[in-house]
Amino acid sequence: MRKVKIILAGGARPNFVKIAPLYHSFSRHNRINPILVHTGQHSDQNMSEQFFNDLSLPQPDYFLQSENTSPNRLTAQILISFEKVLRKEHPDLVVVTGDVTSTVACALAAVNEKIPVAHVEAGLRSKDKTMPEEINRIITDHLSQWLFVSESEAIHNLMNENIPLEKISFAGNVMIDSLHYHLKSNRKAELNSILPKSPYILVTMHRPSNVDSKENLLNTVSMIEQIAALRPVVFPVHPRTQKKLMEYQLLQRLTDHPDIFLKEPLGYHVFMQLMRGAEAVVTDSGGVQEETTYLQIPCLTFRESTERPVTVSEGTNYLIHDLETASLVTQLRLILRGKIKPSKIPQLWDGNTAHRITEVILADFDKADLT
């Protein structure tokens, strides 16, 4: 049976957390030749290079030079650069993960070159088309020949959009593969310079709806201050949020607060340990909702909707959909008093998703070779 050349393409931190288990699974098969492409969407060391080290990924086979300016410009840059890689390598398949600009740009470039696409983490929908990520998800799913979903509702979403069932595979959550491996390996990182001495709340905020406008960023800053009145807050600041805090002259307000600990973006292992040690997590991140559900840590998501509803219906996630700080603080007070809803780890979030995806892809290529 012939060898299959597969390009794994990504450009942002969440991409690499999902790509790592796939790369390792592909590499264990002598029938697969995996090629790693970094689009350059996140070139900051702590946002990408550090994750490569933490996730035992080699240096990318290709690092595309991209300037993360507007989504349109970034998409155009990736399309042009990735097209050159595709024409040089002639892969059998391009695998993309998640919902960032790199995801949709690489999928579009591949389809234009008549190369099939597999989308890992397909079918997630927030039902909010003002989110760029929602548009990216929809376009990527409709461009893809393989759609690997992480929760059952994603299957219904895809079928409602008339995507054939035979393209869809319920594989589980590949991000949990990375977390599962991290927990199993028990790798520890130095946290003394990060943690307050008492129990703490971990906060992450970076969505445009929460940080881009001055009004919304003021609301976010006020919310963090109110959380800090309950417990010390550890706040790793995303580059996007940092830029806006400086632009609106709000950074010093957080820096001067005695119970708010601002940190630069953290490596994967440090952040996972930080999450494991938190009493609760407040976030607007998609991946954090999943990781906290697996770790069984209460999570309060400050967004109107979530594309990961299983983290609410089965997991530890509470959706603060009215975007009211008072609602979040009220729910957080209940959690800190021990009033936590029952939860469980969703189906197939077991650390074996990358293996299942590998088997499906190889089986399908075998079928194609026989026809």
Question: Tokens 């390996």, residue?
Answer: 185
Phi, psi of 152 (to 5 degrees): -65, -35
For residue 341, the one-letter residue type is K
CA quadruple 311, 120, 60, 111: dihedral positive or negative? negative
- Is 206 a catalytic site residue? yes
Q: Are 297 and 277 in contact (CB under 8 A)?
A: no
d(CA 107, CA 130): 21
CA atoms within 13 A on the CB side of 73: 6
d(CA 320, CA 304): 7
Do β-strands 146-149 and 117-120 pair in parallel, antiparallel, or remain unpaired?
A: parallel
Q: Is 138 in a helix, a strand, or coil?
A: helix
Q: Which of 24, 38, 42, 206 is catalytic?
A: 206
Catalytic residues: 206
